[in-house]
Amino acid sequence: MGYIVESLRQIFGARPTKPEPHQVKVAVKDIYARKRQTKVTRQHLEVLHEAHEGRNRWRIRRWITLVVVNLLFVVSYRFDVQLVEGALTASRVVGFHFADLNSALQVMLAYKHVVLNLVIGTSTVLVLWWLLGGRTFCSWVCPYHLLAEWVEPIHLWLAKKRFIRNHSFHRGVRGVFWVLFAVLALVTGYTVFETISPTGILSRALIYGPGVALGWVALLLLFEIFVSRRAWCRYVCPIGLTYAIVGVFSPLRVQYDVHECKHEGDCRAVCMVPHVLDITIRGRAIDEQTDITADCTRCGRCVEVCPTHSLTFKVKGLDRLL
């Protein structure tokens, strides 16, 4: 129950809860006490990183999956093989209907009518992303996520050289946008969000050819390069919020083990949603093993960068996945 509550708090913009001393288990207090007696030097960390293998294994798997999924739509349309029809927002895969949960909600609100195919499609998608973890869609399927990830190093370099300053916003604004787009669809009878969604724009551009809407995507990327790191995904996109709620109940999670963690912060540095990894800050863990909350995108960047394997993919009730 605590995991569900904390996940929902973070999804809707609240800061991660700092544990009170009485909440921390005795075993964890003992672990922290032993760590305080052993100073971790820079040289020690460098040795750990040099010995660490597979730093990009999850990134490579994720990029391949993302490219293949999106190319299936392109190939099916170009060669008329009817394997995958439609786009990411709504499709039919070998006869099975798939519909993005947020897009389906927008359509139903706009038309004030429950369409059977959308119900079938959303049910299929709901089960799929429940199994994989809600925000897995963001990092493993969404084409805009890939573009934003590719331009992110430019932003980081500019910020490091102090040519720009990264601007952050309250994460709760994402919930406000979710409500705003839903109300706009209901009042106007038009799926406003689908018009400006870079996910839908890029998916349709890949399949049917580029259009002027790509200019909007370019503006978003420029904003993220010069103003705010990963702004669309962190502060605006209602798709991420919708799937994060689904992910609360997913059996697939990233688990944190406090025993060997050196608290050097590499995982938080690479994370797109670093607040979910506040648990890795010294003194924040309550239990020896803790599931990272559902606002996590399951991208695997923290798992692959951690030199002590303190972060791993787990299926609830089973042993370590990889």
Give the whole-angstrom CA distance, residue 35 versus residue 263.
10
The pTM score is 0.90
Residue 314 and residue 300 in contact, taking contact as beta carbons nearer than 8 Å: no
- Quickly list H helices, 79-172: 101-111, 116-132, 136-140, 143-160
- Position 51 pLDDT exceeds 70: no
Place of tokens 């359509």: 107
Q: Tell whether the torsion through CA atoms of 69, 193, 139 and 4 is positive or negative.
A: negative
pLDDT of residue 320: 58
Domain range for 144 is: 1-85+128-322
**Number of structural domains the chain divides into:** 1
- Position 176 pLDDT exceeds 90: yes
51-55, 200-204, 251-255, 295-299: least confidently modelled range:
51-55
Read off the pLDDT of each residue in 77-83 and give the average, rounded to a whole number.
83
The more confident residue out of 54 and 261 is: 261
Query: Does some domain include residue 292?
Result: yes
What confidence category does residue 237 fall into, taking pLDDT thresholds of 50, 70 and 90? very high
Read off the pLDDT of each residue in 181-186 and give the average, rounded to a whole number.
94
Query: Does some domain include residue 100?
Result: no
What confidence category does residue 15 fall into, taking pLDDT thresholds of 50, 70 and 90? very high
Nearest to 97 by CA among 66, 126, 54, 58: 126
pLDDT of residue 209: 92
pLDDT of residue 54: 61
Query: Does some domain include residue 184?
Result: yes
Percent of the chain topping pLDDT 70: 95
Residue 146 and residue 139 in contact, taking contact as beta carbons nearer than 8 Å: no
Query: Does some domain include residue 122?
Result: no
Query: Does some domain include residue 113?
Result: no
- Position 321 pLDDT exceeds 60: no
Query: Does some domain include residue 52?
Result: yes
pLDDT digits (tens, 9 = 90+) for 245-288: 998 999 999 999 999 898 888 899 999 999 999 999 999 999 99
**What amino acid is encoded at 33 in this protein?**
A
Query: Does some domain include residue 201?
Result: yes
What confidence category does residue 1 fall into, taking pLDDT thresholds of 50, 70 and 90? low
Query: Does some domain include residue 118?
Result: no
